[in-house]
């Protein structure tokens, strides 16, 4: 199992300069994995960053940023096309960084919520399945795994539950499409975090961890022992990544509703959260 952290804990955008600065620091804090958000394709010089990560001894994954103009099931065909193009470029970036997992809500824009009839949902699922299948084939040629993340009801109305993400993965039917679960979102939506993890089983390829308030793991009321038992039950051995955000970056803070600091500093969040996770799962 690899323990990692997302660059959004400290800054946005996580560009080449920031990765060069943060990579040795992340390693020093005891992590062996670094997750790079791909807000704008081209923010990162993939070859030089990949070299730094290798030299630092850090594994790497990438995180998609699904903005309003990146949406695979939007009624506007141009927005759908832009979302597909962005994800193809994100797959290229993931490959260029030497990473395997491209993670996030790879279906719709974060923050878009809407009422759906059963027929409308069936139509959108058919559209998404066909699109993801083609993206998966493109990603497979580059050794990239697409990991779909359910979000809470305030950030999307389309995929809120592990069961919904699993349904999409099964419909797509490609080996390199899996599930990402996030303890923050699960704590809002799932009846049982442990059962959600167990129901995902082998589909679970990536795990995001933070507290009920998006703070350091272990500082709130997420039922961590239930999470740990479920991870053990399904023999999960993939990345375990802390994902949180700093209120100092206004655009990200507004999107994720981050209005205050969770710890005395991003370093404090990273250090205490990483220590807790290693004791819990290591």
Per residue in 48-62, pLDDT (tens digit) is 999 999 999 999 999
Region 219-242: mean pLDDT is 98
What are phi and psi for residue 103, nearest 5 degrees?
-120, 160
For residue 197, is pLDDT > 90? yes
Considering 18, 35, 39, 243, which one is annotated as catalytic?
243
Instruction: For residue 104, give the nearest of 156, 142, 154, 26 by alpha carbon.
Output: 156
243 an active-site residue? Answer: yes
C-alpha span between 187 and 215 (Å, rounded): 13
pLDDT over 80 (residue 253):
no
Catalytic residue among 35, 39, 149, 211: 149
Q: Is the pLDDT score of 250 beyond 80? A: no
Q: Residue range 98-109: average pLDDT? A: 97
- Taking residues 131-159, what's their average pLDDT? 97
Q: Is the pLDDT of residue 84 over 70?
A: yes
Q: Hey, what's the torsion of the CAs at 124, 151, 179, 231, to 10 degrees? A: -150
Position 249 scores a pLDDT of 67
Q: Does domain 2-281 have CATH number 3.40.50.300?
A: no
Q: What is the mean pLDDT of residues 93-121?
A: 96
Rounded percentage of the chain residues whose pLDDT exceeds 90: 93
Residue 259 pLDDT level (bands cut at 50, 70, 90): confident
Residue 30, SS3 per DSSP: coil
């Amino acid at each position: 199992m690899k323990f990692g952290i997302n660059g959004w804990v400290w800054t946005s955008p996580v560009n080449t300069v920031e990765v060069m600065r943060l990579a040795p620091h992340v390693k020093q804090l005891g992590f062996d994995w670094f997750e790079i958000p791909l807000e704008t394709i081209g923010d990162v010089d993939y070859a030089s960053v990949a070299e730094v990560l290798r030299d630092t001894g850090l594994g790497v994954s990438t995180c998609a940023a699904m903005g309003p103009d990146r949406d695979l099931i939007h009624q506007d065909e141009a927005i759908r096309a832009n979302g597909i193009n962005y994800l193809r470029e994100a797959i290229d970036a993931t490959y260029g960084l030497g990473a395997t997992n491209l993670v996030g809500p790879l279906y719709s824009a974060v923050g878009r919520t809407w009422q759906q009839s059963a027929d409308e949902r069936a139509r959108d699922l058919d559209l998404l399945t066909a699109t993801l299948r083609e993206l998966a084939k493109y990603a497979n040629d580059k050794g990239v795994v697409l990991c779909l993340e359910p979000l809470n009801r305030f950030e999307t109305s389309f995929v809120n539950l592990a069961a919904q993400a699993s349904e999409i993965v099964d419909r797509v039917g490609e080996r390199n499409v899996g599930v990402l679960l996030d303890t923050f979102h699960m704590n809002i939506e799932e009846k049982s975090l442990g059962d959600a993890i167990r129901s995902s089983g082998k589909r679970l390829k990536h795990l995001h961890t933070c507290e009920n308030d998006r703070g350091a793991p272990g500082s709130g009321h997420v039922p961590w022992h239930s999470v740990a038992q479920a991870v053990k039950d399904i023999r999960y051995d993939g990345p375990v990544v802390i994902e949180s955000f700093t209120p100092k970056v206004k655009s990200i803070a507004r999107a994720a509703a981050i209005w205050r600091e969770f710890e005395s500093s991003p370093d404090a969040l990273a250090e205490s959260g990483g220590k807790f996770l290693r004791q819990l799962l290591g």
